[in-house]
Amino acid sequence: MGAMTFPLPRARPHDAPSLARRHALAMLAGAAFVPCASGRDAVESAAPFVATPWSIVDEILRLGEVGPADFVVDLGSGDGRLVIAAVARYGARGGYGVDIDGALVRAANDSAARAGVADRVRFDERDLFGADVRAATVVTVYLLPKVMARLERKLRAELRPGTRVVVNDYPFPTWTPERVVERDTLDKLAVSGMTFTQLFLYRVPPG
């Protein structure tokens, strides 16, 4: 009797609550997450660390059309791979990342030094809602749905018209994306328990 095969888990694109639940279950099953320190704003619990697979990093940077004229800001930068790749591999002129986990921030700055881009890339330990994003030409985001409305308001208020924003999996509630890219990748299965990814490209409108 031949071996049986089963379909890989795939979240439905329209089912954001289900996607969030699966994400949370993946965290509990063993993926690393960022603990909230006592007294910190509860919003920080909405940014668990799940390393973005390299194939998705490339998709994000291609979708954002990152190039030599760009300064890339990653909100919830984790191990720093996205900002470092933007500069080291896609030629961005600079990049900045923020994360609430000091250990991840130190690791990201160390990685930037090893990659030879520490003169153009910096990571800080701080609340992303206090981050200065005004220099960005491209912003990348991978956060859970409960903070996306607040983040949408921040970015629309602070970014210049034409700034590109690439969001991974959880879209803004009212901002209409310019493009949506959907991918199935086995790279994601080990870190999130799913293979399905949606990427949303937004562009800050005039005025």
Domains and CATH numbers, the chain: 16-23+41-203 (3.40.50.150)
CB 25, CB 54: distance < 8 Å:
no
Cβ–Cβ < 8 Å for 120, 96: no
Residue 82 CB contacts under 8 Å (≥ 6 apart), including other chains: 52, 57, 60, 61, 72, 74, 97, 140
Tens-of-pLDDT digits for all 207 residues of the chain? 443 332 333 333 434 434 443 443 333 333 333 333 333 443 444 456 778 889 999 999 999 999 999 999 999 999 999 999 999 999 999 999 999 999 999 999 999 999 999 999 999 999 999 999 999 999 999 999 999 999 999 999 999 999 999 999 999 999 999 999 998 876 666 666 677 899 999 999 887
Contacts of 74 (CB under 8 A, 6+ apart): 80, 82, 83, 95, 96, 97, 98, 139, 140, 141
What are the distances in angstroms from CA 195 to CA 15, 76, 103, 126, 199? 15, 21, 28, 30, 13
